[in-house]
Structures are given as structure tokens and as C-alpha cells.
Chain A
């Protein structure tokens, strides 16, 4: 049984079919890449899967249960967590506080807890947040404000926050956008380590090199429809995929 399965997923904005009858399966323990040229519907797909947008048609099941049309926080509670394409952080909070917010799902939060505890966060949560920071290599920056971090670290922090939620499936939207080679290698290694520790990964990426080196299976979208699916090697030699990326001819770049 697939961990995540979308069947005939469609999203129409007025007359525009942003995503049209896409079937998508992610097995437990995989790293799957979702690629495609600009405007192919990758991010819309993410928004549908994570509950940020309701689909026009189609069904989504996660771990065998239907999640179509559920609110994002209900989907998060089941273990499907997403990050954002544009650097999205709580800019005026410290790195540690950002990660603590990721622990929200797992914290006890009764009213008594809120009003009568001397500290906003119990020690075990702070410890847990520090673990996540150590794992992602952000420990030295724990007390910095998120907005003061260099871009590469900000992106990593986004992943760290999602990790704090303890996802079963982590959906990363363009995790290495705007990074130099070293940084993007670092993040891709991190993604692999996360998978090796038992979290399934679905990632949207523009950077073909990053996708090809990391993903075991790749799904290609174009104009909202599934164009191809297979191993990175199969997909990158598929003439239709090359045509879609280069806009025409079938010559190798």
C-alpha cells in the first residue's frame, strides 16, 4: 500500500486547469521528485496534497485513509508536512523559537498550561528543538533572529521546522532554490539522511542536478498533466521530457 496516493487529481482556477487528472503514488521510504517546467502545476499539486487548496476533482489518501478536503492542520496531524517554495519563516523569532513552533502539534497546550506555567515551553520541548537544530547543523545559530540568517541557513531552518513536526511524509517545495553548489549539496545530503531515518520524501525541484542525484523516482508534470514517470535516468532520456524543458527540439543540452 502506498503511503500517499492521489488519484485523478485536478484543480481548475476558472477556465485554467492548473492540475489535470494527475495520478501520484509515493511508497513508504522513497525519495520521489516532482519536476517540470515553470507553471507545470508542481506547487499547486503540493497545495492540494497538503490541504492548502481543495481539489476540484480527484481523491487523496494518506496511509490508507482519505484526506481529500481535510484542513491543513488535520493533515499535518496525520504526519504529512510541507515546506514552502519561498523562504517562509517567523522572521522576528529566534531560530530556536521557530523550531519550537514546529513542535506545536505534539505539545500539551491546555489553558492551565498556558496561563500558569512560568515558562512558555517545557524543558523536554526545548531539548527536542535543540536535537533538531543539531541534526540540521543550525545549533550555533539557535539564538539568532531568523531574519538575520544567510539565505542558505534560512532554507535549512524551514526544513528543520518541518522536521520538528515529526512527519511520516515530508514534502519539500524547491529546497535548494537560490543556493550555491555547496549549500545545495549539503541540503540534498540532509534530505537523504532524513529519509534514512525513516521519513518518506516528496520534493519539488527546479534544479535538475539536485533531483537526479537524490531521487529514486521522478514524476514529470507539464501543463498540469503527468508527462512521464520513472527513474531519473529513464526520465532524463525521455524525448518528451527534454522537449518540455527545452521547449521544442529533442536534442540533448
Chain B
């Protein structure tokens, strides 16, 4: 098989396997998979910020905006799911623009600290605005998702929807990353001063990446709202924002597939440790250990595991081909 044909074939195979699994897996697995798909959307949408070299630990805030917006529009105004989802995503993007504009001039850890503040600010607004969001009582009675007027009543149907959303979002994100725009974002992540010196309006490209990331986080949030049908402010907390970031790092932030692998791998953990309160405690420990092990032994993330293993067994010569006429430089 030609290697450029292999990727599409593998992808279609995975997609078919997922479809079969959803169809025969029953409610439990449909529920679980839909949440995994949501996490994949979240992790991959954060990748846009990561491409620009930004440490964004506030992504759950924009998921929350998407979730509450979509839920309230559908519940109070009877908006169809497609429209409420889009409104949620757009409002998340708008909030992202407003919050991102002043903060994106900060760099490194200072920007990271501001994004943490986003999470708390949004959580507090949602918590205090009781007349609209019901605050800490939680928002319930959110309508189930529908598509073209067709109610998706069962978990299995909703899981198909999640799969569809994920595939569409990933296609768009893939297209973005491998376009000129993606290259510009990567160039900013590698050397923002150099990009600036070549005439790139660094600030607005960063803002675009951030706002688009918020848009897709809003989509994930909106789906989550109609799927779980109960929203509670602390759900979208700092821990969730950290998890989204960790998916990227554990999966591998150097590659498009990194956050997908990371989210798919780590999203199962809560289920493994679900048994009882006692085993619940181990979840966080295991999560942390996974993260530490990855950072220590696979700095490139899980995505680099196959090539690392291949290296171990084959002992390939290290380094790359020398350029034709390598000049010897003196210090």
C-alpha cells in the first residue's frame, strides 16, 4: 500500500470501528464515547493557542459560555439545537475576543495567569446570575439535541451527533493548521519577534487563533449542555481547563494528532476509577503520574511513542542527513 493512501484508509477504518462500537455498545459506552468526543474537540481547539506558543489554562471558561448560552436559548426561547449551538459558539468567540484583546499582549506565564482568571470570572458570573442560570442550584431541563427537526432521543443517537461534530470540527482544524494561516501561527509560536520583523501582525493573528479556539470550545460546551442536560457552575472549573491542557501535553503538542490521542487516552480514566469513593481518589494520582511519566520519558507526547519504540529496537543512527557542503564554523 502506498504510504500516502495509508492515512485515509486508517482513518476510515477507525471511523467505521467507532460507528460499530456506538451502535452495539449500548447506552453506557455511547455516553462515555460522546464525552470523549467532546474532550477531543476541546483539546484540539486549544491547540490553536498552543500553536501560537501561548499557555492557555482558561479554555473551560469558553466551554461554559457555549454551554449556558445554548442551553438557555433552547430552554427559554425554544431555539432549535442547530441555532442554539451556533449561538453558543459565537458568543464564546465574542467573549474570547473581548477577553483576549487586552490579555494577549501579555506573554508566557503572565498570559497563563490571566487565563486562569477567565475561568474564575466566568464561573462567578454564572454562579451569581441566579435569575438566569439558577446559579449553584444548577440548570436542568435542557432540551435534548435535535437535528433538522428530528429529536435525538437516545444516547446512541446523540453519540452519533457527537461523532459528527467532532469529525467536522477536526476537519476544519486540520485545514486551518495546514494552511498558510497555520504556518503563520506556528511561526509566531517559534519566534514571534522574527514574525513581527517579516511584517506579520502578530497581535491580531494571536487573537484570531484564540477566538477561533473559543468558538470550537463553545461548540463542545453547547453539545455537552444538551447531552448531559444539567449544568452546574463548578463543572467548568480550573481543573477542567488544566485537563484540556494536559490532553495536549500528554498526547503531544507538536502534532495535530497529539491532543486527539491525549484526550482519547485520558478521558477514559475517570471511568476506570469510578468504582467507589475510595478508588476515585486514585484517579487524580494516576492522572498526575501519567503526566509526569510522559514529560519525563516522552517529551513529545504519546504520539511519539511508536517512533521511540522503533528507535529502541532498531537503533537507527541518530541525527539527520548532513547538508551537502557543511561549513565548519568557529565560535
Contacts and interface: CB of A to CB of B under 8 A. Distances in A.
Interface in B128-183: 175-176, 178-183
B199 A77 contact: yes
Contact of A90 (B175, B190, B201, B328): B190
Nearest to B331: A178
A134 interface: no
Interface string B192-232: 01111111111000000000000000000000000000000
Contact of B193 (A88, A109, A113, A183): A88
B198 A144 contact: no
B323 to A, nearest CB: 5
B261 to A, nearest CB: 20
A148 interface: yes
Given A101-B187, A101-B198, A152 B193 contact: no
Given A88-B194, A90-B187, 14 more contacts: A72-B196, A81-B198, A88-B193, A92-B190, A104-B184, A104-B198, A104-B199, A104-B200, A105-B198, A105-B199, A107-B180, A152-B327, A180-B328, A180-B330
A188 interface: no
24 contacts: A72-B196, A73-B196, A73-B200, A81-B198, A81-B199, A84-B194, A89-B191, A91-B191, A92-B190, A101-B183, A101-B198, A104-B184, A104-B198, A107-B180, A114-B181, A115-B176, A120-B178, A141-B323, A141-B324, A148-B323, A149-B323, A150-B329, A152-B329, A179-B330
Nearest to A100: B183
Contacts of A150: 323, 326-329
Contact of A148 (B175, B202, B320): B320
A148 B323 CA distance: 8
B186 interface: yes
Nearest to B172: A115
A48 B287 CA distance: 48
Contacts of A32: none
Contacts of A91: 190-191
B44 to A, nearest CB: 17
Contacts of B328: 150, 180
B329 A90 contact: no
Interface string A116-143: 0100110000000000000000001100
B329 A183 contact: yes
Nearest to B254: A92
B329 A180 contact: yes
A244 B190 CA distance: 38
Contacts of A161: 194, 198
Contacts of A50: 197
Interface residues of B, number: 33
Contacts of A140: 323-325
Contacts of A42: none
A83 B202 CA distance: 17
Contacts of B200: 73, 101, 104
A76 B187 contact: no
Given A101-B183, A180-B328, A115 B198 contact: no
A145 interface: yes
A105 B196 CA distance: 11
Contact of B198 (A52, A102, A114): A102
B327 A113 contact: no
Given A89-B194, A115-B175, A165-B199, A120 B183 contact: yes
A58 B329 CA distance: 40
Contact of A114 (B179, B194, B195, B331): B179
Given A150-B326, A179-B329, A183-B327, A76 B198 contact: yes
Interface string A51-83: 010000000000000000001110011000111
A114 B198 CA distance: 19
| Most B CB within 10 A of own CB, among A101, A115, A148, A183 | A101
A83 B197 contact: yes
Interface in B303-331: 320, 323-331
A85 to B, nearest CB: 11
Interface string A3-36: 0000000000000000000000000000000000
A211 B324 CA distance: 30
A222 interface: no
Contacts of B196: 52, 72-73
Contacts of B184: 101, 104
Nearest to B191: A88
A45 to B, nearest CB: 15
B180 A121 contact: yes
Contacts of B327: 150, 152-153, 180, 182-183
Given A90-B186, A90-B190, A153-B323, A113 B198 contact: no
B180 A73 contact: no
A250 interface: no
A120 B195 CA distance: 17
